[in-house]
Amino acid sequence: MITAFVLIKTDAHHIPETAEEISAIEGISEVYSVTGEWDLIAVARVAKHEDLADVIADRLSKVPSVVATTTHIAFRAYSKHDLDAAFSLGFEN
């Protein structure tokens, strides 16, 4: 699984609608409204690198109120949550 974090600048008048539209894109697992230089951060999870072009370049970046994006591809996950999920057998504690 390839995970990428997409930092997104939007038309400030349409942040909630833009977030909803981006969250509906297949391959986008989460969208966060954030403070700072960027308006939204989307988490893309795809099977292979080539799929990132479809999700980010061909779909996300073409949402009308998206002004700019920058993408960061994750190498590894270190959080306990991600490690627990990776080794989980589906049992509830």
**Contacts of residue 22, Cβ cutoff 8 Å, sequence gap at least 6:** 8, 28, 31, 40, 42, 60, 63, 66
Contact 51, 25 (CB under 8 A): no
Question: Dmax over Cα atoms in the chain, in whole Å?
Answer: 44
Task: Residue count of the chain, please give it.
Answer: 93
- pLDDT, one tens digit for every residue, the chain (93 residues): 899 999 999 999 999 999 999 999 999 999 999 999 999 999 999 999 999 999 999 999 999 999 999 999 999 888 766 656 655 555 554
Quote the pTM value. 0.82
- Hey, where are the domains in the chain? 2-87
CATH classification for the domain delimited by 2-87, as one of 3.40.50.11030, 3.30.420.10, 3.40.50.300, 3.30.70.920: 3.30.70.920
Euclidean distance between CA atoms 45 and 49, whole angstroms: 10
